[in-house]
Structure 1
């Protein structure tokens, strides 16, 4: 059977074409070129709305990942997945937990011995950890300063990413351990592997609530979600503001269910002054939400409301114009999603819309570039491992909605500009 794999030369040509186009588009936008130096491009957020640049970037990533795997060959590629990638994750965890990035001067360097003293580590294993980190372009050893450490563009970002790294890598969250128990999960469906990884068989939310000192778990989780969204889309979250027709709602109230600290609602409220927002989440998020709302100057049009989304919606003077659920439903299996959505039915039947921000995974292989598809399934297995949840295809979203009420319709679904997530609009069909 003839192979459908592109040749190394064809892939190399695709890389050259994609790199050339991307470099030219960055120059047109007057943005820095990609580099590991501190003055290089920090993210692609500023070109998310440039389709030529983003298409070139996607094709460049796809060709580069494919040619890298082919150049390794099957045996080396499998070996790297089994040991190299695992040790890279463990190295990142060590850098995060020892706050190495905070101890290295932003505009200078520090010796390994002094760095070890500052973070409470022994210089021998620290030196070995740093050597692997250098190969990942996380920190560097200056050419004229052997045994010294300096920042790269990647290492300089570690403090900003700290909440997300805590969520992914900390023992307290059990996220790494639950992924390691995936084989157990395949034999014990529908129980999520986290039930095996935690000695007491607790669920993720109980672990987060109970294993962080001073009850900080839920606020840390909200911070991690905010950090993740900022790393995907930038700090202004404009993708949510442009992906739904907020203006068509006119004046009225939007309820952001499971909205954490309001990090998604705030930029929408700033752009659409005719709307008022209610951010609903568990009481422990109230303090951080009120701080963000006040800092944004939105006290008059936005407030936090403690609420458990498994319970009926609080009574209101008028029907909300829309409910926003962003990355909530993927946390839960179908039966729990039905419980959540059922609480909204009375007002959906009275004309409220439902705006969903979630992944819409492909129905079959090849519908999206392979590296994007891989990210979808990574998140899908992560949701199952720690929560019993899942990512869903468009048909699966529609089936879920029909389970809640056969008149619920998925009217629109589009990938948001520069995002891995989709914007979906749901209402009651006529």
Structure 2
């Protein structure tokens, strides 16, 4: 047997110094803030998404740092960390979110723990213990000159922006964290998904969102969660979607966003490419959020229209010449059979010359094909899809090629590129 080369501690430390120096120099070159735990410090790296040198330095720094940490920690302590520290961290984050601690702590100041406890309706003794653990995660901190006071770090200040996705992942309604407790049962009961064991009624995430939200906002909150996840990764303007495909090359015509939620993906594209008009096809529950968003960004029906549509019920007629169909983060929700059902009705348009533009994660074909710190979140999402949805999964390029050929033997991948600083790939498909 042969295994990948393991760098020495000194080799890794050298790479850390080289990459850290390169990243620091790139940030200085652009007059961008350096990372810091100060409350006003850097919250994210959206401002370097289109700087290849800075992105590469950051990725190399993360990979070398995580590798040397694992090697220096050792096997048994890594297992202890996963079992105790990591698991506790998830529950502490949920508590901070549920109690709305980030909003109760001033962004530009501090608050005493007793005052904070009174503000959020908690007891100060357990809250203090929870916060002291949160400090080790760099979520909030105690000012040096104010014992028993709480202030933000740049990381805790980001929690509200990520909140809709935290609701989806950690909330009691969706039961997703509980689903992960049933992997052992599920691998023995394939193709049942773990969530069907966690839910008393044996349902998956879609059924729970449709049936159990007493306010009738389950799907709207799901769309908000997807929007928050993408914006926290790529920035609030969804610039990644603009550069994902050659939109200008489509010329003048119509883009149909199939299963497009509230339309947040195509807003920056519509703003930048005035020759294109758009139809967002979604279930009726998303029409209200769609209209609200379009009102905010000032896009009228002459540019973006909403069409009530269930993508398992064929493709309805649309007014205009369709230049492209978009499926953004749709296919990973479904097994191959369902994906074929979604794409088959698009074939008449594709045979007329339209393109299929797919945005999805693309798994490496083999472990080690990409850096571990990049592969880990992809594998985590694959397991999340497995845990929550019957047949949900992430796919490799080979998987996508087989899937597209099931739709039509002539359907081929014409282009595949990772979006800047992202887990997602832009896949261009045509006949």
TM-score range, shorter chain: over 0.9
- CA deviation vs aligned residue, 1:231-271 (integer Å, no higher than 9, x gap): 11001111121121111111111011111111110000001
- Tell me which residue corresponds to 2:357: 355
Of 405, 408, 412, the match for 1:402:
405
Match of 1:253, SS state, is strand
Task: Give the root-mean-square deviation of aligned CA atoms.
Answer: 1.2
Offset at residue 419 of structure 1 (A): 1.4
Query: How do 1:57-136 residues align onto structure 2 when only pairs under 5 Å count?
Result: 57-136=58-137
- CA deviation vs aligned residue, 1:151-176 (integer Å, no higher than 9, x gap): 11111111111101101100111110
TM-score by length of 1: 0.97
TM-score by length of 2: 0.97
Moved more, 278-287 or 3-12: 3-12
Aligned residues: 428
- CA deviation vs aligned residue, 1:251-295 (integer Å, no higher than 9, x gap): 111011111111110000001000001111111111111111122
Query: How do 1:21-420 residues align onto structure 2 when only pairs under 5 Å count?
Result: 21-299=22-300, 300-387=302-389, 388-420=391-423
Offset at residue 393 of structure 1 (A): 0.9
Offset at residue 345 of structure 1 (A): 1.5
Once residues 53 and 265 of structure 2 are traced to their aligned partners in structure 1, the CA distance between those partners, rounded to angstroms, is: 27
Match of 2:173, SS state, is helix
Once residues 321 and 187 of structure 2 are traced to their aligned partners in structure 1, the CA distance between those partners, rounded to angstroms, is: 43
Offset at residue 184 of structure 1 (A): 1.3
Residue 414 (structure 2) pairs with residue 423 (structure 1): no
Match of 1:360, SS state, is strand
- CA deviation vs aligned residue, 1:182-206 (integer Å, no higher than 9, x gap): 1111111111111101011012111
Once residues 103 and 238 of structure 1 are traced to their aligned partners in structure 2, the CA distance between those partners, rounded to angstroms, is: 31
Once residues 126 and 211 of structure 2 are traced to their aligned partners in structure 1, the CA distance between those partners, rounded to angstroms, is: 32
**Are the equivalent residues in 2 in contact too, given 1:277–1:302 (CA < 8 A)?**
yes
Once residues 69 and 341 of structure 1 are traced to their aligned partners in structure 2, the CA distance between those partners, rounded to angstroms, is: 43
**Are the equivalent residues in 2 in contact too, given 1:32–1:39 (CA < 8 A)?**
no
- CA deviation vs aligned residue, 1:358-413 (integer Å, no higher than 9, x gap): 11111012211111111111111111110131111111101001111111111111
Once residues 96 and 193 of structure 2 are traced to their aligned partners in structure 1, the CA distance between those partners, rounded to angstroms, is: 29
Identify unmatched segments of 5+ residues in structure 2.
none
Match of 1:212, SS state, is coil
Structure 1 residue ranges (4+ consecutive) displaced by more than 6 angstroms after TM superposition = none
Once residues 426 and 142 of structure 1 are traced to their aligned partners in structure 2, the CA distance between those partners, rounded to angstroms, is: 54
**Are the equivalent residues in 2 in contact too, given 1:174–1:198 (CA < 8 A)?**
yes
**Are the equivalent residues in 2 in contact too, given 1:293–1:303 (CA < 8 A)?**
no
**Are the equivalent residues in 1 in contact too, given 2:39–2:151 (CA < 8 A)?**
no
Once residues 54 and 357 of structure 2 are traced to their aligned partners in structure 1, the CA distance between those partners, rounded to angstroms, is: 28
Match of 2:191, SS state, is coil
Offset at residue 3 of structure 1 (A): 8.2
Once residues 399 and 229 of structure 1 are traced to their aligned partners in structure 2, the CA distance between those partners, rounded to angstroms, is: 27
Once residues 355 and 21 of structure 1 are traced to their aligned partners in structure 2, the CA distance between those partners, rounded to angstroms, is: 35
**Are the equivalent residues in 2 in contact too, given 1:319–1:350 (CA < 8 A)?**
no
Match of 1:4, SS state, is coil
- CA deviation vs aligned residue, 1:303-325 (integer Å, no higher than 9, x gap): 21111111111112344110011
